[in-house]
Amino acid sequence: MNNIEDERLMELRSEMFENSRIFHSDDLDFKYIQNIVKVIRNVLQINQIHFFIYKDILREIAQYVVKYKHPNLTFIDRNKQIQEQYLDNLINSNGFNKRIALTTSKDEIFGYVFLNIEVDSFSGSNYFWNQFAKIIYCYFKQVFQILIIYNEKRRYRLLQSVTNQLHSSIDMDAVLRKVLESLKEIYPNFNFTLQLSTDDFKNSELPIEALDYTLESSPAMECFLTGKYRIQDDLTTKESYMYFPLKGKQGIYGVLHIQANQSIMISEQDIEFIHVLAQTAGSAMENAHLYQQSKHLVKDLKLITNVSKKLNSILKLVDLAKYIVKELKESFNAHESGIIMFKDDHDEILEGSTSYFYKDDCDSLIEIIKESLKTTREGLFLGDVNQSKFCHLNIPFASIMVEPIKQDDDIIGAVVVLHKQPYYFSFETYKLLRSITQHSSLAFSNAILREELEQLVITDYLTKLYTRNYLDAQMIKSMETDTQGVFLLIDIDNFKKVNDTYGHQNGDKVLVQIADVIKESIETDGIGARWGGEELAIYLPNRTLAEGKQLAQQLVQLIPIKSEPRVTVSCGVSYWNIMNPLTPFTLFKKADEALYEAKNSGKNRAIANI
């Protein structure tokens, strides 16, 4: 070696290692390559330079992920036959005229440097290029050590920051976003996807997809089931796939899926770092999940407590139904909710139920519900009607929840909640519905019994018409709020003769028959009552005298036809309005006078007392 070569080697060594300080930037590995290329160009006046580094040596020596592609650096596989042909082609096609093997201290080739040395530039002896290769090796070795130290500090500094943020967050979406941002910061050339075991993130903008449980032998499922990370290389696409479990103390919540180009090397330290970060994310997800669960539980308990308190203060069945339907619709964000009471002769949709339950389209759904409850004696929870045995139902709803209302052990009705979107209600929601219905069942039973008792108090036990006291009370209310009203007093002609001839049992039968005629003849706002003995009465609020006289004539004509044994009736009619206000007693007295006149005029007729 001559003095010129010695000077050049010293200059190369000096400038390379002087500039191999630790750069404080994210692309420091890019700058180190840039530095060595610049030094060689300046010292040796060589413009075309390219390094080829074997991947396996890089993995062993550097244990570092090179994130940035550099125009003067390529990573190659150690396949001698293929690489020799590949390298020869590069020399021929790119104008390189010198190839130098780069060796380790153990004389193992870890790569090559290609140069294009012009004729009139520095050529160098074999000894010079051997020393040049050693300098290059020492430079790369030192650079790799710097990169290892820098990235170790950077990874764990980031890990500490991420850990602090994750464990202080109760927002699941924020937790996952932070994990992905941190990974992307360290590994910008990787593609990350979170494959989660829950469907709580349907509307998230993050790269999240549902874990496919049907692919039992897939690496993702193996990772999820075993809790161990998996790495898989695809030789066809030349890509690597990595799977890390998102594991907490109580379970595994999904898999972190990473896709990487094979030319990007990953070390054991990087694998360990990602694994720890994934586990930290799993723990944070678990904490956030448990917090959300506790929030939902507290919310559900508050709802149940409030419902229970309210139920104890509601006495009427209609008010109870309105309250329950309103709470269910708001709490579950349902499209429709309703309460159906099962009767022997018909099904009653309680007031307060939403509009769909009053449509003819709902009849088929109600029949299915009744049949299901009768068969299974359990509630009904359908995520998607179209995927169930009830797919033949032509209804505009996919998600259905039904819970029976029980009195003792008998099913007396059902609470129904509907939504158009499939799988809208979770099983936790259904459990909440069950709890609310169980608390409501006693209130429904009490309300029904209370109304039955009230009905017994205000209803005549034989005719099922109202009692005289109830009629008096309703007449007083009407005279306070209405503008007019009609009172009819009806007496069965010769009723004593009927009892004497046919017996009191048949006499009672006649009373029931006449009561049925009255109930069929008056409209929903009319009130029929048993006044006493064989006398019956009707009050028509807000009706004219003409309407009252018409009804009286109708009863006089119908009762002889519809009674067995055949009887006739006499009827007295009285009337009041705001121009001529009366008391209930005066109204009765005037009707009684008209009835007396009808009796004395030959019976079987109706007379009005104006």
| Strand 336-342 relative to strand 208-210, pairing | unpaired
Domain of residue 535, CATH code = 3.30.70.270
Confidence band for 154, pLDDT divided at 50, 70 and 90 = low
Q: Are 32 and 53 in contact (CB under 8 A)?
A: no
- Coil vs helix vs strand at 494: coil
Q: Is residue 60 part of a domain?
A: yes
Domain boundary pick from 417, 450, 483: 450
d(CA 265, CA 55): 7
Regarding whether 83 and 34 lie in a shared domain, the answer is yes
Confidence band for 517, pLDDT divided at 50, 70 and 90 = very high
Regarding whether 95 and 31 lie in a shared domain, the answer is yes
Q: Between 179 and 553, where is the model more confident?
A: 553
CA distances from residue 563 to 161, 377, 405, 595 in whole angstroms, order as listed: 93, 44, 41, 21
Q: Are 572 and 592 in contact (CB under 8 A)?
A: yes
Q: Is residue 463 part of a domain?
A: no
Q: Are 490 and 517 in contact (CB under 8 A)?
A: no
Q: How many other CB atoms are there within 10 angstroms of residue 230's CB atom? A: 19
Regarding whether 137 and 100 lie in a shared domain, the answer is yes
Q: Are 521 and 555 in contact (CB under 8 A)?
A: yes
**Most confident option among 29-38, 456-465, 508-517:** 508-517
State the pLDDT at residue 72.
Answer: 82
Tokens representing 571 are 């009827």
| Strand 410-419 relative to strand 208-210, pairing | unpaired
State the pLDDT at residue 65.
Answer: 45
Q: How many other CB atoms are there within 10 angstroms of residue 18's CB atom? A: 10
State the pLDDT at residue 561.
Answer: 93
State the pLDDT at residue 599.
Answer: 93
In our burial notation (b when 16+ CB lie closer than 10 A, e otherwise), range 304-341 reads eeebeeebeebeebeebbbbbbebbbebbebbbbbbbb
Residue type, 127: Y
Q: In what order do the strands lie in the sheet with 569-577?
A: 527-532, 535-541, 484-492, 569-577, 606-609
In our burial notation (b when 16+ CB lie closer than 10 A, e otherwise), range 444-481 reads bbbbbeeeeeeeeebbbeebebbbbebbbebbeebbee
State the pLDDT at residue 96.
Answer: 80
State the pLDDT at residue 160.
Answer: 65
Beta-carbon-side half-sphere exposure of residue 493 (alpha carbons within 13 Å): 22
Domain boundary pick from 416, 450, 484: 450
Q: Is residue 425 part of a domain?
A: yes
Regarding whether 446 and 483 lie in a shared domain, the answer is no
Regarding whether 411 and 334 lie in a shared domain, the answer is yes
- 77-81, 105-109, 117-121, 381-385: which range is least confident on average? 77-81
What percent of the chain clears pLDDT 70, i.e. is strictly above it? 79
Cis peptide before 565 (omega within 30 of 0): yes
Regarding whether 349 and 427 lie in a shared domain, the answer is yes
Residue 592 has pLDDT above 90, yes or no: yes
Q: Is residue 262 part of a domain?
A: yes
Helix residue spans in 219-267 (DSSP H): 219-226
Q: Are 608 and 594 in contact (CB under 8 A)?
A: yes
Confidence band for 291, pLDDT divided at 50, 70 and 90 = low
When the pLDDT of each residue in the chain is averaged and rounded to a whole number, the result is: 81
- 61-75, 87-101, 113-127: which range is least confident on average? 61-75
Domains in the chain, number: 4
Regarding whether 499 and 415 lie in a shared domain, the answer is no
Q: What is the CA radius of gyration of the chain?
A: 46
- Coil vs helix vs strand at 53: strand
Regarding whether 325 and 390 lie in a shared domain, the answer is yes
d(CA 602, CA 590): 19
Residue 26 has pLDDT above 60, yes or no: no
- Residue 100 sits in which domain range? 3-150
Q: Is residue 500 part of a domain?
A: yes
Element of type H or E holding 559: helix 545-562
Regarding whether 355 and 254 lie in a shared domain, the answer is no
Q: Between 366 and 106, where is the model more confident?
A: 366
d(CA 57, CA 112): 12
Regarding whether 184 and 136 lie in a shared domain, the answer is no
> What separation, in Å, do the N-terminal and C-terminal C-alpha atoms of the chain show?
144
Span 50-67, average pLDDT:
61
Give the phi and the psi of residue 523 in degrees, each rounded to 5.
-85, 180
Domain boundary pick from 450, 481, 496: 450
Domain of residue 344, CATH code = 3.30.450.40
d(CA 419, CA 407): 28
State the pLDDT at residue 479.
Answer: 94
Q: Are 584 and 597 in contact (CB under 8 A)?
A: no
| Strand 49-54 relative to strand 73-76, pairing | parallel
Span 206-232, average pLDDT:
82
Confidence band for 295, pLDDT divided at 50, 70 and 90 = low
Q: Are 150 and 22 in contact (CB under 8 A)?
A: yes
Residue 232 has pLDDT above 70, yes or no: yes
Q: Between 454 and 51, where is the model more confident?
A: 51
Regarding whether 524 and 413 lie in a shared domain, the answer is no
CA distances from residue 532 to 82, 358, 477, 553 in whole angstroms, order as listed: 115, 40, 22, 22
Regarding whether 144 and 9 lie in a shared domain, the answer is yes
State the pLDDT at residue 315.
Answer: 62
Give the phi and the psi of residue 484 in degrees, each rounded to 5.
-165, 170
State the pLDDT at residue 571.
Answer: 96
Residue partners of 571: CB distance under 8 A and separation at least 6: 488, 489, 490, 491, 552, 555, 556, 594, 595, 598, 605, 606, 607
Span 575-582, average pLDDT:
92
Residue 518 has pLDDT above 90, yes or no: yes
To 10 degrees, the CA torsion angle through 132, 134, 140, 144?
-170
Residue type, 21: R
Q: Is residue 275 part of a domain?
A: yes
d(CA 258, CA 527): 78
Q: Is residue 169 part of a domain?
A: no
